[in-house]
Amino acid sequence: MRNKLKGLRLLIALLAVFGLLAAACSDDSSDDETSEDEAATEEEAADEECTGEDDAEFSIGMVYDVGGRGDQSFNDAAFAGLQQACEEFGVKVEDLEPSAGGENRGELLRLLADDGYDLVIGVGFAFEEDLAAAAGDYPDTMFAIVDAAPEADNIMGLVFSEEQGSFLVGAAAALTSETGTIGFIGGVEVELIQKFEAGYRAGAQAVNPDIVVEAQYITQPPDFAGFNDPARAQEIANGMFEGGADVVYAAAGGSGGGLFEAAATNGEVWAIGVDSDQYLVVGEPNNARILTSMLKRVDVAVYEAIAGFVNGEAEAGVTVFDLSVEGVGYATSGDFLSEDITSQLDDYSQQIIDGEIEVPKTP
């Protein structure tokens, strides 16, 4: 089965080479130099990546959600946790990306289990059915899943209180907005993403009960392309900004890049990122209009799951990452939030932790 993984890697590498050759044939000499520089940068990054040793005591396999690494959000956060565990524990790691529509999620999970990986992780709620089935067929393999918690003796469910973190950035949006209208863009209208919208609305309304919150989803299930469609997100964001919204929050994975493009070209408006501290990963000039990001510590969840497994402490069942354990929160990179605003957000956070504020999970 290891030959299958190597074959998959080889195919991806060959496709990348063909892509570079095609670009070289169609561009002028300056474009050739740019392609060479980009290829060199990618090669250097690959050299720095921790994969562990083949004879490591433990092996960890991970399958990303659609969009894979490079989304500057959800998947990249999972990769960060995997890399931290690889470096600290010396585990062998293998990470795979599903097809654009995610149809082969189950196949990839089983490929890793067949190849003898001790812990196999699915990144995203869309893995729930496939991972539960795989866990039943591979009872000696431990599985973990982000954003879902199917019941089985060999599944760790890693879930988050997204509504709590979204409450805080919703409050930040209302405290910053000058028009009294803000927006929310969801990748796919499923229960999980509705938690983001619900918390965002509640936080904004806690500050200003009369605030207008416009919400739009990119796709409806079973179409999950909304998590990797920045062009559509940019179109929606432009419409919201042109309609009077001056702060827009996107919970849409890789589609969020479209929001940042829109915010950078619509004047004095703001974008709010999600999952990672996107001010740090998006880069200039688009990060200049990222007010804050709702932090969803997928990196911490992945790392903790692996650490527990390596230390013999992994247990099947649900682990919730909420404000009380800093599993969610908000970012202050860029220093766009005033001390007065962060003080109010921290006060809201403590009220949520103390149970004085119960954040809704449905809009």
Give the CATH H-level superfamily of domain 2-17+55-160+299-323: Response regulator (3.40.50.2300)
Instruction: List, for residues 164-191, the tens digit of each pLDDT value.
Output: 999 999 999 999 999 999 999 999 999 9
What is the percent of the chain with per-residue pLDDT over 90, rounded to a whole number?
Answer: 82
Which residue shows structure tokens 């995203």?
Answer: 124
For residue 170, what pLDDT is reported?
Answer: 98
Looking at residue 1, its pLDDT comes to: 44
Confidence (pLDDT) at 47: 54
In tens, the pLDDT along 189-201 reads 999 999 999 999 9
pLDDT score of 196:
98
Q: Which residues of the chain have pLDDT under 50?
A: 1-46
Fold for 162-296+332-353, please state it.
Answer: Rossmann fold (3.40.50)
- Sheet containing 270-275, strands listed edge to edge, beginning at the edge strand earlier in sequence: 212-219, 181-188, 247-251, 270-275, 290-296, 328-330
Which residues in the chain are classed under CATH 3.40.50.2300?
2-17+55-160+299-323, 162-296+332-353
pLDDT of residue 71: 87
Buried b (16+ CB within 10 A) or exposed e, 161-193: bbbbbbbbbbbbbbbbbeeebbbbbbbbbbebb
